[in-house]
């Protein structure tokens, strides 16, 4: 067989495999509105579960202001041609964070492990920027104030409720006045959230 014919056969085989793939619409969990995240191909339905998909929050809200927030979902079950998913991670763009740092400002980052009402666990990272420099002791007070409020909210929230608070910015808005009681705040963001443990009874329980 000539090289040319061999290449043509290889190309046709690849095209044929792609043509035979099944397409599944990926949807967010119901606590984020059961919205479409687009489609994903797979040659077998069993290849869908466990797959992750990263999107911009803007893809869900159609708001340009949400461009700097990225959500990652993990696919859990398939019904027909629809792949259902669970929230797995949220991140704030590094470029955005870097753009907010100035020589006359202070950055206060806090990393907190939270246990929710349904025994699920999340690691939440907050990003605070003050309009002018803050002392080391003041930064510590800000972190402690945020931690106390986060623990209060977590104790009253289920996994879905807490994630909804993140996506809707409600969590950010609840934390800001608490931090401002300690020191003036220019920016307070939830810069990262990662699932450590899913709720008992979840398809993904025992995984992270």
157-177 burial code (b ≥16 CB/10 A, e <16): bebbebbbbbbeeebeeebbe
CB 117 within 8 A of CB 157: yes
- Residue pLDDT tens, the chain, 208 long: 445 555 555 555 555 555 667 889 999 999 998 899 988 888 777 788 889 999 999 998 888 889 999 999 999 999 988 999 999 999 999 999 999 988 899 999 999 999 999 999 999 999 999 999 999 999 999 999 999 999 999 999 999 999 999 999 999 999 999 999 999 999 999 999 999 999 986 666 656 5
How many CA atoms, within 13 angstroms, populate the side-chain half-sphere of residue 189? 18
CATH tag, 94-197: 3.30.479.30
Residue 176: the pLDDT is 97
Residue 196: the pLDDT is 96
Query: Residue ranges per domain, the chain?
Result: 3-92, 94-197
In three state form, how does the secondary structure of the chain look?
CCHHHHHHHHHHHHHHHHHCCEEEEEECCHHHCCCEEEEEEECCHHHCCCCEEEEECHHHHCCHHHCCEEEEEEEEEEECCEEEEEEEEEEECHHHHHHCCCCCCEEEEEEEEEECCCCCEEEEEEEEEECCCCCHHHHHHHHHHHHHHHHHHHHCCCHHHHHHHHHCCHHHHHHHHHHHCCCCCCEEEEEEEEEEECCCCCCCCCCC
Residue 49: the pLDDT is 86
Residue 48: the pLDDT is 86
Neighbours of 114 (CB within 10 A): 19
38-69 burial code (b ≥16 CB/10 A, e <16): eebebeeeeebbebebebebeebbeeeebebb
């Amino acid at each position: 067989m000539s090289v040319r014919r061999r290449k043509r056969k290889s190309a046709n085989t690849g095209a044929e495999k792609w043509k035979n793939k099944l397409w599944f619409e990926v949807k967010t969990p119901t606590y984020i509105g059961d919205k479409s995240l687009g489609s994903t191909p797979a040659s077998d339905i069993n290849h869908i579960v466990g797959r992750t998909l990263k999107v911009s929050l803007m893809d869900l809200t159609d708001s340009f202001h949400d461009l700097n927030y990225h959500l990652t979902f993990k696919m859990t079950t398939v019904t027909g041609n629809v792949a259902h998913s669970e929230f797995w991670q949220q991140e704030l763009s590094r470029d955005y964070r870097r753009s907010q740092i100035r020589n006359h400002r202070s950055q206060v980052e806090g990393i907190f492990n939270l246990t929710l009402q349904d025994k699920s666990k999340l690691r939440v990272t907050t990003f605070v920027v003050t309009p002018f420099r803050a002392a080391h002791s003041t930064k510590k007070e800000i972190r402690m104030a945020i931690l106390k409020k986060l623990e209060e909210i977590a104790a009253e929230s289920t996994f879905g409720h807490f994630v909804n608070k993140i996506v809707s910015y409600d969590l950010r808005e609840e934390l800001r006045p608490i931090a401002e009681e300690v020191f003036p705040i220019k920016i307070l963001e939830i810069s990262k959230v990662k699932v450590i443990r899913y709720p008992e009874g979840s398809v993904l329980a025992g995984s992270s």
